[in-house]
Structure 1
């Protein structure tokens, strides 16, 4: 008979060490100890742009939230720093023209392979209910609340349900309190689809616990039964020792201890700038008020005994005073008073940084690097060796009793140590629900430190954006880059009103450029060509009335309006719909006023064409510099018609309207009225309005400042060395002193400051020479040369332009010689 004992090993494996028992409801885990576990994702303000007052407020709010948690509660604040995903997948972008394809290929090369990282901040709370001690076999002593509230016949199910309800209530209260300081969201359950089309259910807390233990970020499909979570979630082999190994990854732990004399908010913010993957764990075991008073009272007693020497105490003589012991006694008594007053709570704090890698030499080298970084800010970092296994286990959420460090700290100190401010990486996808699901951000940019920034103009489904900055700050380059990168969205369209021909290189490479009123010859328009329905007739009526008012200096009378209406109905039936054809059916007085806009007058070369010269292309740039010099009588009708054509081009596709040098729009009554309407209405048509101007004063004096602030959730500020002299103006747009200082110190033509309700960040476009050849070639010599090349070579002019500038574009072409 075979003995089975040798096959029944009692050696502990990883699941035996872990405390997780079951997923009992979405986002809630029941531990083997009987404790309940839940988690949150949170993000604070950008560290670089937050003022000291903002950081202090956030720390105060966190202290208020955490001090309400007493004995039985343990919190883990985790920062998981991981390698940022690569550049956006090529199949998520839909560039159609060669120039934007080449620009995108160069940017992909720039941002691929960089040593960049992102951080995810996590708060996990655990509650261990009070024990119900056994009196004898088969009987349990009820708590007083159970006997008073429910009577003596309370069953275990009722107690468990009440505990779970109170746990969720406490979580909701904590979330609401922390929401005053950070953006916070509780982890929950979600549905997904795998690569083979199969549907599955996953839970964010389960995924997070998996990441914390294994160091790998992955989605875990939940089984039908949530029990035995320790076994189905973790299957790696664990090898103990001074350098433990989980699966193929070695584990290194750096304990943070030896705190400086004083703390301040975000004291450890430098950890968020380190260019390496790690997990930073902050565990805090909360204490009730009476427990904290007792523990602190022992410190008071011990230090009091050292104020006077042993002999002086025995002989009851005055003796010398130990001033250090006296100072420590006063500090300990101050801590006791702080607890009694309810200003903060105390608990046991353990902090460590966990490194995991396949190469033990890498772990050892990076551990020393982290230790040096901690020492630079006067923290002692201890690289764990014999205690490494217990330190790692204590860093895992849900394990409150391993590696407990005895010194007490307050929740106020804890709020200073928590990562309440960090570099913001932007949203991983475009937030507009009118775009295809999972659409990539507008563009990837660089920032300080080792964290990239995903630039999106949209906040929810609103993409209206204000761009402010002085001349020479890089405004036109930013607009051109935005326009080029916007082509990644399917069926996208752009119309830009330009001044100074800064968008001409891009327009000739992607679409059409119209230099209206210049010697180069702009298109001739036929404003009455499209009279297909009643709405077209109504618009044409208003257009003719405006032209008449500009010439006659007075509004039309009813009989004149009727004559115009009848003439429009007659014109609708004709094949030729020029203004000359139209005025031929009008009375003499109307014809005399409107002849100014026909071939009989000076503006006929622009508005009296038989067919319209404005083509329906996805990328149109209207140069209005020369047009605006012609005066209101000439420019306003042209602008009004261009606005009409743009509005009619919106069919729900991703669209963008760019207004460069927007002071023209803000100072022109027709432009301003149209802009006000666009900001309120174009969101519904899936169109983002990008408004750029040289100074904040243009917007402040426009008369529609409130509309600009309310309708444009995204603002981008260019570097301005004189920003500190316009503090009041910048503050009117929601900036604080620190943000204004960042703008004043930003590098011109390289850095920009983004701000919206989602966050804020200084970013750098990191443009290569190829992109700059199309986005920054706005000087007169370059413009003249580009026009000559375009006239000579047509649509292939851009390759000759790149060759002349010694820019190698061939590496971005495929085997067919086309841009990939």
Structure 2
């Protein structure tokens, strides 16, 4: 007989395990359990150019924002790394420049050459049960409605998340809420290896079935589509953390998802939990036999479990920080997911991630039996799978999350309305894929080449790189090479000085070609130098 049931009784598809249900407002997703979630895209400061005091100040302000949230709230911080497969289109005035650009484009689009990183912050809030909400209405008089108002809950959620993001916007170089299309595109990127934009449907509901475009195969080594999925979970933390302790993950040259979930606790709930932990560790200082011996002999035991005493003292310090409102408490689960069509390459990628994490005194575990639950727990909005029980401080959370980002400059030159002049392969793969020298109020840069390199290569490269615009955006000054009597500066390479756009416009064409520079600190440096 045909099965005519309206609903399936068992979960059999990936969509059945996804938490997302519908879009109820701009960028706000209603989940199946009644919770609301909202995602923002951000870019943290660059650790390569930040001093220690700046890092401490940034993490302190981040901790100040996180500790304001309590029970019912969850935070998902995710870093995604993907290949940068797009190259900006350009027009060149002559075939030689166009040929050079074609070679640069082919080199850039080489597989595995350039990667981009995206950073996302998701807030999830589960409103209290209706019985508790109705009981709360008894404390107020003059309300028009006595029941639960979903619109009021939605407005309160929007207001609270706006306030928290305003705290982060003060020190984040880039921080904004995602709209409907960007939200769906981000959610799709967490459950699929395909990277494309997702259009908002006319009726934005049943998001789980809309976004799941690849099947999930479970087991000890799960697969998502044709890609083999490998999951790594952090289960142990070092005794001391520092800002950006896992920043080395931002330099990996392969795609991955690094997700950190924090299920926050109210102050009363955290005090109750820490008090229980302190009592249990304090009771473990002495065994039952030692306690009976003390009762029978009326003498205190000399030997105690020092490890238990230290952990009880650590819980007491956490209670002091919580009582002074220095930090909050949260259940934190950090997960890194890598994938590849070749299972051996997927295992190799996971080993590289494990090497970095364990090199920072973390304890990591490669997921096998729990691999599917660990992957589900990394999805934004999923707060029930793979929960790590021991709580940690929100200040340690601020140290662990992917806060830093290598700044590659703007993706487009707004002054000349043109793409970047050139692309390069820096030590750290940048966010936009184009290490672009930004010309602002004051910018300094240096470009060098190998010793004895041909001096004519640099001006030709700069000329062909800037052929798309009518004027150059930088003043290049280099030392001359005059046979055996060349100056020491000429042997070390050229110097590239960047000046502001306003000054660039005021320069005449002749002054640019006759630029020279002196350096009194350089031994044997001639008074002037010829243009390169």
* Same-fold call, TM cutoff 0.5: yes
TM-fit CA distance, 1:326: 2.1
| Compared CA separation, residues 26 and 693, structure 1 to 2 (3 A) | farther
Query: Does structure 1 residue 385 correspond to structure 2 residue 368?
Result: yes
TM-fit CA distance, 1:661: 8.9
**2-side partners of 1:225 and 1:420: how far apart?**
35
**1-side partners of 2:5 and 2:35: how far apart?**
35
Query: Does structure 1 residue 101 correspond to structure 2 residue 93?
Result: no
Asked whether the 8 Å contact 1:458–1:464 carries over to 2, the reply is: no
| Partner residue in 2 for 1:3 | 2
Query: Does structure 1 residue 399 correspond to structure 2 residue 379?
Result: no
Query: Does structure 1 residue 338 correspond to structure 2 residue 297?
Result: no
Query: Does structure 1 residue 262 correspond to structure 2 residue 240?
Result: yes
Asked whether the 8 Å contact 1:465–1:691 carries over to 2, the reply is: no
Asked whether the 8 Å contact 1:57–1:181 carries over to 2, the reply is: no
Structure 1 window deviating more from structure 2 (60-69 vs 244-253): it is: 244-253
TM-fit CA distance, 1:456: 4.0
Asked whether the 8 Å contact 1:56–1:265 carries over to 2, the reply is: yes
TM-fit CA distance, 1:69: 0.6
| Partner residue in 2 for 1:408 | 391
Task: Determine which of 402, 405, 421 is the counterpart of 1:422.
Answer: 405
Structure 1 unmatched ranges of 5 or more: 135-140, 190-201, 504-658, 663-674, 684-688, 698-719, 723-777, 784-820
**2-side partners of 1:721 and 1:407: how far apart?**
59
| Compared CA separation, residues 678 and 287, structure 1 to 2 (3 A) | closer
TM-fit CA distance, 1:488: 2.2
SS at match of 2:467: helix
| Partner residue in 2 for 1:297 | 275
| Partner residue in 1 for 2:464 | 484
TM-score normalised by length of structure 2: 0.83
**2-side partners of 1:18 and 1:345: how far apart?**
29
Q: CA RMSD in A?
A: 3.8
| Compared CA separation, residues 691 and 356, structure 1 to 2 (3 A) | farther
Asked whether the 8 Å contact 2:192–2:213 carries over to 1, the reply is: no
Q: Deviations over 1:476-504 (max 9, x none)?
A: 97776444312124xx245998888979x
| Partner residue in 1 for 2:184 | 206
Structure 2 unmatched ranges of 5 or more: 482-494, 524-528
Query: Does structure 1 residue 144 correspond to structure 2 residue 136?
Result: yes
TM-fit CA distance, 1:365: 2.8
Query: Does structure 1 residue 170 correspond to structure 2 residue 160?
Result: yes
TM-fit CA distance, 1:455: 4.2
SS at match of 1:404: coil
| Partner residue in 2 for 1:442 | 421
Structure number, greater radius of gyration: 1
**1-side partners of 2:422 and 2:503: how far apart?**
23
TM-fit CA distance, 1:363: 2.1
Task: Determine which of 338, 352, 355 is the counterpart of 2:338.
Answer: 355
**2-side partners of 1:661 and 1:121: how far apart?**
32
| Compared CA separation, residues 488 and 721, structure 1 to 2 (3 A) | same
Asked whether the 8 Å contact 1:348–1:406 carries over to 2, the reply is: yes
Q: Deviations over 1:111-159 (max 9, x none)?
A: 341533221111111011111139xxxxxx6132475055373344xx2
| Partner residue in 2 for 1:153 | 145
SS at match of 1:142: helix
| Compared CA separation, residues 392 and 721, structure 1 to 2 (3 A) | farther
TM-fit CA distance, 1:19: 1.1
- Greater helix proportion: 1
TM-fit CA distance, 1:392: 0.7
**2-side partners of 1:310 and 1:248: how far apart?**
56
SS at match of 1:203: helix
1:527-542 alignment runs, 5 A limit:
none
**2-side partners of 1:406 and 1:333: how far apart?**
18
TM-score normalised by length of structure 1: 0.55
SS at match of 1:371: helix
| Partner residue in 2 for 1:454 | 434
Asked whether the 8 Å contact 2:221–2:230 carries over to 1, the reply is: yes
| Partner residue in 2 for 1:239 | 217
| Partner residue in 1 for 2:48 | 48
Q: How many residues align?
A: 499
TM-fit CA distance, 1:21: 0.9
Asked whether the 8 Å contact 1:58–1:180 carries over to 2, the reply is: no
